[in-house]
Amino acid sequence: MALEDQDHFNALIVDNAAVWINSLDVEGRITFWNRAAERISGYSREEVLGHAMIWEWLYPDPYYREAVFARARQMMQQGEGLQGFETTIRTRSGDERTLEWHSEQLFDANGRLLGASSVAHDITARRRLEAAHDRQHRLQRLIAEISAELINITADRIDTVVEESLARLGMFFALGRAYVFRFDVRAGQMSLVSEWCADDVQAYRDHLQAIPLETHSWVTSQVLAGKVVHIPDVDQLPPEAKAEQAEFRREHIRSLLLIPLISDQKAFGMVGYDAVEQPYRWTEEQITALRLVADMIAGTLARKQVEQELARQARIDGLTGLANRRELDDLLERECAARRERSLSLLMIDIDHFKPYNDAFGHQAGDDCLRAVADAIRSVLNRPSDLGARYGGEEFACVLADTDPEGGLQVAERIREAVSALELKHPESAEPHVTISIGICSVHTRWPIEPRALIRQADEALYHAKRAGRNRVEAQTLRR
């Protein structure tokens, strides 16, 4: 093969090499640009040969471009070659590619510096794979930390730690929102109970309460069936999800992921993640990891519900469903210790001639009577601050916060009338049916008072009601 043919053959090899090859002069102007450089960058050799504009195109950020140039100048001035030097370029189409450069200086036969030659390997896929592995590792580590916190949490901190966990996951994925919905399947409703929002992203917790499940049936039916709902692009939802699509657009949601909260093989809510600024597609590995988080949150919330129910039962009278003596004493203690100007009324209630009733009809009927009287009391106490309790045996009590003597007397009369209206037959009473007697003690003060003093005078008023013939209300005022 002739020398010129060999040179031409070598040039073809370089031009058609699978790796990026280019050369430049001492002024940074491109003097050679092979086909791989054209393919990777998107710029043809006709566009780049003879000038240095390509570097502004490949590195549009001036600060980043200067950092790359500084390293190149170092190579030129100190005779150093670049080995494994990585940069990120912006291609003509706007994509970012990561290149690994290997560069050497070029000299003529007399040792005069001509410029440099560079070979670049496109390592974008490798770096993205490494970044994905690193991201998955960091996600797994984050989930392990969340798991440790949820396992060791006390009931009073569950809501706080759940919201902190949502915040950490939302920030990890650079999302707009992360939240928890709870379902009330019997009522056919769902409510937003926990929510984290990124800065400048609107919160909806106050607005998304008691939402009918059927208004978002495309989503809720899948979640109730235990399925994960992954929506990479809200605009691509099917026609049957029209209602959901409108709501998602109203909340500026681009993508979302909904994972069921399951306890006893039933979905009782869902954890949601919203991408707001730009779409996001979760990988299968990420979804699997987030399902573990949902399972942990579900277990934590289920445990909280059980503990709350146990705490409630510990303060509830098992027969009547009213508060028990412990709850009554605790509330009365708090109300009496308050340092503010207030009125407080305590009602002590006793079923008249209950023992003869119990003897005549038996203990089961006696229990039914106690439950009926408790229901009558409950029907009258309609303020959240009012408390009805079983004091012991056939005796009940009511604590009426912010209630003066007149108000206490009105409530007591309504309770007495409600019990009479039951018309529970009582053969051993002066009345043909079951009746009650009520003693009231009211106080108006701005200082703490002694609960026992309030109880003592209410008991005294009850004693007077019984001595006066029963089926009546007597009231006293505690003087301060």
Q: For residues 337 and 479, what is the distance between their CA atoms, to the nearest angstrom? A: 16
pLDDT of residue 310: 77
CA of 53: how far to CAs of 20, 38, 56, 173, in Å? 18, 15, 5, 37
Helix extents (H) in 381-434? 405-420
Which runs of E-coded beta strand occur in 132-265?
177-184, 189-197, 211-212, 229-231, 255-263
Distances (CA, A) of 66 to 70, 73, 157, 256, 394: 6, 10, 51, 39, 89
Three-state DSSP state, 67: helix
Enter the pTM of the model: 0.61
In this prediction, residue 302 carries a pLDDT of: 82
Closest CA to 167 of 142, 143, 141, 197: 197
> Beta-strand (E) ranges in 5-149?
20-25, 30-33, 82-90, 96-107, 113-122
Task: Give the relative orientation of helices 363-380 and 405-420 as an angle to the nearest 10 degrees.
Answer: 140
- DSSP per-residue string spanning 295-329: HHHHHHHHHHHHHHHHHHHHTB-TTT-SB-HHHHH
Q: What is the pLDDT of residue 4?
A: 59
What is the spatial distance between Cα 333 and Cα 265, in angstroms, rounded to a whole number? 43
3-state SS, one letter per residue, for 170-181: HHHCCCCEEEEE
Residue 228, token pair as written in the block: 């994960």
Q: Tell me what pLDDT residue 300 has.
A: 85
Give the pLDDT of the chain (480 residues) as one tens digit per residue: 455 565 567 678 888 899 999 998 888 899 999 999 999 999 999 999 998 899 999 999 999 999 888 877 776 666 667 788 899 999 999 999 999 999 888 888 898 888 888 999 999 999 999 988 998 899 989 999 998 888 878 877 888 999 999 999 999 999 999 999 999 999 999 999 999 999 999 999 888 999 999 999 999 999 999 999 999 999 999 999 999 999 999 999 999 999 999 988 899 999 999 999 899 999 999 999 999 999 999 988 888 777 777 777 788 898 999 999 999 999 999 888 876 777 899 999 999 999 999 988 999 999 999 999 999 999 999 888 899 999 999 999 999 998 999 999 999 999 999 999 999 998 877 788 999 999 999 998 878 889 999 999 999 999 999 999 999 999 998 866
